[in-house]
Structure 1
Amino acid sequence: MAHFLPISFPNRLALPSFLRLATLALGLLTVLPGCSDDDDMVTPPTAAPDRITVPQAALHPEGIQWDAANQRFVVSSRTQGRIGTVKDDSTYTVLADDPRLVSTIGLNLDAGRNRLLAAVSDGGFNPTRSSAATLRKLAALAIFNSNTGSLMSYVDLGALRPGVNHFANDITVDAQGNAYITDSFAPIIYKVDLQGTASVFLEDAQLSGGTGFGLNGIVFHPDGYLIAAKSSDGSLFKIPLTNPTTFKRITITQSLVGADGLLLLNPQTLLLVSGSQTTVFRLTSTDAWATATANGTFATGPVGPTTITRRNEADAYVLYPYQATSPRFAIVKAKL
């Protein structure tokens, strides 16, 4: 509320007309609604919800990204292949689809370039699109316009190593826009540049998961290396961009078996989702990820957690797909 002191004259009627008008105008300005200090206050943003339950039957999402520009989550689908968006009110909308999307797994939102990258595979989850030609053979990268969902490019990765099993899993993007994609059935990390040229970035038997899942989550560190997780034994690898064959295993005493999605909160802090342990681990490093320590956990319960995304400076959300036939999935704030 505005406050003012009244102007007093000994004889108002004796004032010249222009002074009487000025006095009246001053009085009106002090009571007009537009002059209230309250109108200068900014409405605070709506608090991010602790949990969003999405009533989409048998969608079984694997990947998730927060799209800050459009204030929505983006999720993939193992069972249907399509990519959709989720608002805080649980509204699900299809963003992108294509017959070649047998199963979409990991996602990466390259917001600065308006790109949404999706790893495409066939693990036998999609009964309508899986085929003998693609089952355990498909590894591809689909790139969409992140605002419209239109397909920009589709890159066949499995063709780089024909005749072996493939499963494109997760994606990260470096500062120059190069994408790096893990293969869970072959001990390979692929690289796709901005022109869509694909190559084998790293191939090594140490990255193999044997008969199970090998490489899974992957993140880019701003100091010029990748951190990748192997599900079968919980190994974490530090992989230099300039010389990937010199990669090292990160020393950590905590068992990370079942390692899936990764999220680099800051250069010293990494969140890791273990599906088999139904836990999100907070890992920290003080020696540029030569070693790491687990110093926080978030128990998800038996919901099949896969991966995690950052919403703002303080909040990270983990994806609960439940079972392949579940009538819903959930996006839950991880409290570590």
Structure 2
Amino acid sequence: MMFPSSFSLLIFLLSSIARWTAAANLHVITIPSDVLRPSSLFWDPTAQHFVVGSAVRPIISSVSDAGVAETIVSDPLLSQHSSVSSISVDDRRRRLLVALRRPDGLAAYDLRSPRPHRRIFFSPLPSSPGGIAVDSASGLVFVTGSDSGVVWRADLEGVVSDLSRSAKYGGEGLAAVAYERKGFLLVVQGKTGKVFKVDEESGAAKEVIGINGTPAPNTEAVALMADGSAVFAGGKVLRMMQSGDGWTEATVRSEEKVEVGKKCTGVTVRHGKKVYMLVSPETEKSGEGSRSRIEEVEWEEEGDMLWAMVLVGFGLAYFLYWRFQMRQLVSNMNKKRA
């Protein structure tokens, strides 16, 4: 009667140790409170820091691995009521690209200039922007319309033109966008979670078929990994999707849920494989526990489960061996007493 309960306790302890070890190694950065309402996230590979935009000010901050923040953009030519919708870095040209609201526009800043960085251009947009992405080879910038089914394209001088106004969008606004080096964009319709593959030349759009699911509704950000997988962030969930046919069809490979009382508003990829998400409180509160964080994400893979089973197997074998030795010891002691 003791074995089942002892075995259950062993499994619980081993799994708890495995989870604790994995969690202890994850990188978590608490964003300083003077960074107001962080809403967008990007990793700058040259400067080796995170870039964070504000949802209530036209301010962009750098955040180091140690959680030290510094204002890198505070544009005096913009209204203090402006806000950052999304950000991206053109690392080849060292430009910071920013989609702004109130006024609606696309701005570029020179990352080689002293901080706060100098503005290169500001291009008005016809309506409110959603996501932003850049082709580092050509320098072309792509911006989605959050309240209209449109994808704009801007050249190196900031001249904006329509790239895609497909009927497939159904008139719904578009949110996140990511550029794929094979010559297309992945565009997410935030309200529905639908994903579209958009040709970067013609603007032709095709809906990606989700085999076992799609990004969650209210998706706000997307980032591509080096292996071609895409990570979608929004609301209470972060989902990784993968395609084997050039994003005609895709499957949900893994999922990470945000803790209670929090929401995920941004995602970025570091070194092509490390995924970090921007996690903020659902309601505005004061205190250390309510501050926004940048959290490294660990996906639960099949290999991880296999390794856990191996550990349990070794633990069980050792446990049975220990019980056998104890029974032998008790038996020998009883014989001596007899």
Structure 2 residue aligned with 1:56, among 33, 36, 48?
33
Please list, as runs of the form range in 1=range in 2, the aligned pairs for 1:229-308 lying within 5 A after superposition: 229-244=188-203, 246-252=204-210, 253-256=212-215, 257-266=217-226, 268-275=228-235, 278-301=236-259, 302-308=261-267
Equivalent residues of 2:166, 2:205 under 8 A apart? no
The residue number in structure 2 matching 1:132 is none
What CA distance in whole angstroms lies between the structure 1 residues aligned with 2:171 and 2:284? 27
Q: Is the 8 A contact 1:49 1:88 kept in 2?
A: no
Give, in angstroms, the shift of residue 267 of structure 1: 5.3
User: In structure 1, how many angstroms separate the alpha carbons of the residues matched to 2:219 and 2:189?
Assistant: 6
Q: Distance in 2 between matches of 1:79 and 1:176?
A: 31
Q: Is the 8 A contact 1:79 1:324 kept in 2?
A: no
Equivalent residue number for residue 92 of structure 1: 69
| Paired AA for residue 83 in structure 2 | S
Give me the CA root mean square deviation: 2.1
Give the fraction of aligned pairs with identical amino acids, expressed as a percent.
24
Q: How many Å separate the matches in 2 of 1:184 and 1:208?
A: 13
- CA 49–255 in structure 1, closer or farther in 2 if over 3 Å, else same: closer
C-alpha separation between the residues in 1 aligned to 2:283 and 2:134? 29
- Long gaps (5+) in structure 2: 1-23, 300-338
Asked if the contact 1:139/1:183 (under 8 Å) is kept, the reply is: no
Query: Within 5 Å, which residues of 2 pair with 1:166-181?
Result: 166-174=127-135, 175-181=137-143
Question: 8 Å contact 1:209–1:232 — kept in the other structure?
Answer: no
| One-letter amino acid matched to 1:234 | G
- Look up the equivalent residue of 1:236 and give its one-letter code: V
- Please name the residue that 1:115 is paired with: 95
Write out per-residue CA displacement over residues 182-226 of structure 1, whole angstroms, 9 at most, x where no aligned residue.
11111111111012211111123433565xxx2111011111111
Q: Using the TM superposition, give the Cα deviation of residue 100 of structure 1 relative to its aligned residue in structure 2, in angstroms.
A: 1.7
Give the 3 Å change call, closer, same or farther, for CA 60–323 of structure 1 in structure 2: farther
Larger Cα Rg: Structure 1 or Structure 2? 1
Give the SS at the match of 2:281: coil
Structure 1 residue 72: Cα displacement: 1.2
Q: CA deviation at 1:177?
A: 0.7
Confirm or deny: 8 A CA contact 2:141 2:154 kept in the other structure: yes
Q: Equivalent residues in 2 for 1:195-210 (5 A)? A: 195-207=157-169, 210=172
Counterpart Cα distance in 2 of 1:241 and 1:222: 10
1:66 corresponding residue in structure 2: 43
Aligned equivalent of 1:320, options 279, 292, 296: 279
CA positional deviation for 1:274: 2.5
1: distance between equivalents of 2:65 and 2:186?
A: 31
Name the CA distance, whole Å, in 2 between partners of 1:113 and 1:281. Answer: 31
Higher helix share: 2
1:177 counterpart SS class: coil
Residues 32-82 of structure 1 deviation map (CA, whole Å, 9 limit, x = unaligned): xxxxxxxxxxxxxxx996100112257112211112222211100011221
Structure 1 position 237, deviation (Å): 0.2
